[in-house]
Amino acid sequence: MRLAPIMDFPLRDWSAPGVPALAGEASDALEHGRVLHFPLLGFHLLEEETALLDPALTHPKRKNISLSAGGVSGSVATGAQLALLHGLLRRYRDQASTLLDALFPRYRDARHTPATSLRLHAIGSWQPSWRKDDRRLLVDAFPSRPIHGERILRVFTNIHPDPKQVRAWRVGEPFEEVARRYLPRLDRPWRPMMAALMHRVGITKRRRTEYDHLMLQLHDQMKRDEAYQRGGVWLDVGFRPGSSWICFSDQVPHAAMSGQFMLEQTWMVPLSAMALPELAPVRVLERLTGRRLLAA
């Protein structure tokens, strides 16, 4: 029997008191490709931070404002306003990290490369190309950052000040069903020498594996398939302001259909940290193709 794609948890506190009793259930649901929904878990903005909810603060060539090891990027803010952005993003990263440590203790020492983003534009207003259109169902894959089978763990929080402004998502069918649908259409063969050249000239941060090559094609095939985007299999769900949700975005087909003002935290998690590695996309694709996909 297919699992329901959304699972609710009644947490109200990012420090997650009482979470150990839920941790096993949450981990199992997450690795099975479900979205963990926390309808009562909001992120509190300080009074002076509410002025940051202004799309004009985002650089015209960027979709999001981001915090990584290099600091804040993607914003036109300067001075005190930039410091406010930095503090907001860092506080969200720290609270999300505290929650993940409680919910998924086996990931605690393994997750790495945090990236935090503030999304100020209304969905559909940024005029992206089809590859960057959030309204099209996709599984995440990074063109310039090969992940070599690691997992993309994401925490999202709707921070819209209007309690009626939900963030509308579509959550698609299980990853294996998507992979079976699109694998026959992935006709660009992986060329190790080309992967090495792309890394050498700086197009990618490291060599693509065949897994990364297949996931990028899967991402593109899904997004350009108009028939699938109009008539595929999905569940419509609305995440209200003051709520948060978590998923492995490399495994869960998802699309953001409407909404504005969201915080998002990403961590990379090695395959070795998974309780159920056989359910990870790389293992599913290896089983379906009958070959190993991680040799660089």
For residue 41, the domain's CATH number is: 2.60.120
Beta carbons of 268 and 147 less than 8 angstroms apart? yes
Between CA 159 and CA 48, with CA 267 as vertex, the angle to 5 degrees is 30
Residues pairing with 73 in the sheet? 66
- Name the average pLDDT for the chain: 93
Main-chain phi, psi angles of 192, to 5 degrees: -55, -40
List the structure tokens of 186. 């992935």
Whole-angstrom distance, CA of residue 63 vs CA of residue 31: 29
Q: Which residue has the higher pLDDT, 155 or 2?
A: 155
Q: How many domains is the chain partitioned into structurally?
A: 1
Note whether residue 155 is domain-resident: yes
Main-chain phi, psi angles of 93, to 5 degrees: -55, -45
Note whether residue 296 is domain-resident: no
Q: Is 44 exposed, middle or buried (CB count within 10 Å of its CB: 0-12, 13-18, 19+)?
A: exposed
Residue type, 38: F
Other C-beta atoms within 10 Å of 19: how many? 18
Mean pLDDT of 144-167: 97
What would the pLDDT profile of 52-97 be if each residue is shown by its tens digit? 999 999 999 898 999 998 899 999 999 999 999 999 999 999 999 9
Query: What's residue 1's pLDDT?
Result: 36
Note whether residue 87 is domain-resident: yes
Note whether residue 15 is domain-resident: yes
Residue pointed to by tokens 């089978």: 149
Whole-angstrom distance, CA of residue 67 vs CA of residue 197: 29
Query: What's residue 3's pLDDT?
Result: 59
Max mean pLDDT range (4-13, 31-40, 227-236): 31-40
- pTM score of the predicted model: 0.94
Q: Structural domain of residue 128, as residue ranges? A: 6-289
Query: What's residue 19's pLDDT?
Result: 66
Residue type, 94: D
Query: What's residue 20's pLDDT?
Result: 63
Query: What's residue 23's pLDDT?
Result: 72
Query: What's residue 296's pLDDT?
Result: 54
Residue pointed to by tokens 């534009």: 121
- Whether residue 234 is predicted with pLDDT greater than 70 in this model: the reply is yes
Note whether residue 42 is domain-resident: yes
- Whether residue 125 is predicted with pLDDT greater than 90 in this model: the reply is no
Q: What is the DSSP letter of 122?
A: P
Query: What's residue 189's pLDDT?
Result: 86
146-160, 182-196, 216-230: lowest mean pLDDT where? 182-196
Query: What's residue 16's pLDDT?
Result: 73
- Give the CA distances from residue 199 to residues 84, 196, 264, in Å, rounded to whole numbers and listed in that order: 36, 5, 28
Q: How confident is the model at residue 148 (pLDDT cuts 50, 70, 90)?
A: very high
Note whether residue 1 is domain-resident: no
